[in-house]
Amino acid sequence: MANAYVPGLQGVVAARTRLSMVDGKNGVLVIAGFPLEEIAERATFEELVYLLWNDRLPNGRELADFRAQLAGLREIPPITRDVLEAAAERKAPAMDALRMAAGTLSLRTDGETLPEGQYRDALVAVARFPTIVAAYARLLARDGLIAPHHGLGHAANYLYMLSGTRPSDARARALDTYFNTVIDHGLNASTFAARVIVSTESDVISAVGGAIGALKGPLHGGAPGPALEMVFEIGEASNAEPFMRAKLARGERLMGFGHRIYRVRDPRADVLARAAERLFAADGDTTLYDLAREVERVALRLLDEHKPGRNLRTNVEFFTALVLQGLGIPVDQFTPTFAVSRVAGWTAHCLEQLAANRILRPESEYTGETARRWVPLEQR
């Protein structure tokens, strides 16, 4: 008997993983054994990458070596820059530019000493994604490119390459927290795409390219911008209720609220809410943060009123938008910035898949005819 067709593979278990566990019913996210709130606000991004790839946190020497290895790979080769410049001339969307540039990472650079292989590809992808995204943002703005700063951590260096200014510890900590919060999240669409590709024993760079293609879709990676736009459109706390009541009356969504998996508050939202509060307080202007929290408060009340029983709560996108805006990252770079973090999760899944590989080859259910007969061309 054929297996039952499950639209969207909802509820189908297609992989076993030690990398992350999502419990949407209870609002729990575990990253490699650590509850998200236990590690996201404490670890550096490099520590979490090491954890995902090695199933343990590094000691001091291991962390220093790993940081140095990643920092030494940050420079992008000339061909990658050529691709980005050509994309910028045509004003291609940032995710298209990232997808095209990522494909060049299979090529070895002059003087590269890393051996060929999947781990080399993983290192290069994680190290160079920030450089690619920052370079493209500056090319679009017609600003000069800024070379990586090898003395800065992963998050701080990304902010430096975007702005040319060495970020404060508070700003680097906010971005580290954001990167840690979104580094991995179960078998989402882009992660599944990466695992499918690498399960054929293709290379990690090809798998990462497929993951970028999945992330480009607005159903996966396109929500932080609209969430922030809604807050800006509201403008003042007194406008929040009439504005959102009107949206709900028109049957429109409130962006940043509700999630396909979480039936309670998204645990990532709590972590990023605290990160946003610290970031705006450190910068000395909490106006936008205060407005966003009032928008959130009113939105939750109105959603309970208009959609009783749905339990629609704040999701990660709402506070993602607030943190990235506070860091001065342009809205069109929100999803590429997400990819700067998630590439660590994608590569971790690729390495895990390859360690005990079996090609991912689900079945399909045929719905067409079965007894058609050939009709010669002159009789059609």
The residues annotated as belonging to the active site are 259, 317
Distance of CA 12 to the CA centre of its chain: 23
Instruction: Give CB contacts under 8 A, 24+ apart, made by 150-155.
Output: 150/71, 150/72, 150/74, 151/71, 153/44, 153/45, 153/46, 153/67, 154/44, 154/45, 154/46, 154/67, 154/70, 154/130, 154/179, 155/44, 155/45, 155/179
For 72, 102, 119, 151, 165, the CA distances from 111, given in Å and listed in that order, are 12, 20, 18, 21, 29
For 79, 180, 358, 375, the CA distances from 44, given in Å and listed in that order, are 31, 8, 33, 66
Q: How many CB atoms lie within 10 A of CB 170?
A: 14
Range list of β-strands (E), the chain: 20-23, 28-31, 34-35
* 3-state class (DSSP) for residue 133: helix
| Separation between Cα atoms, residue 176 and residue 233, nearest integer Å | 28
Q: How many CB atoms lie within 10 A of CB 81?
A: 19
Q: Are residues 138 and 144 in contact, defined by beta-carbon separation less than 8 angstroms?
A: yes
Collect all residues with Cβ–Cβ distance below 8 Å to 173 and sequence separation of at least 6. 155, 275, 278
Collect all residues with Cβ–Cβ distance below 8 Å to 305 and sequence separation of at least 6. none
| Separation between Cα atoms, residue 22 and residue 336, nearest integer Å | 23
- DSSP string over 90-121: TT--HHHHHHHHHGGGGSPPTT--SPSSHHHH
Q: Are residues 83 and 100 in contact, defined by beta-carbon separation less than 8 angstroms?
A: yes
| Separation between Cα atoms, residue 329 and residue 113, nearest integer Å | 34
Q: Are residues 158 and 132 in contact, defined by beta-carbon separation less than 8 angstroms?
A: no
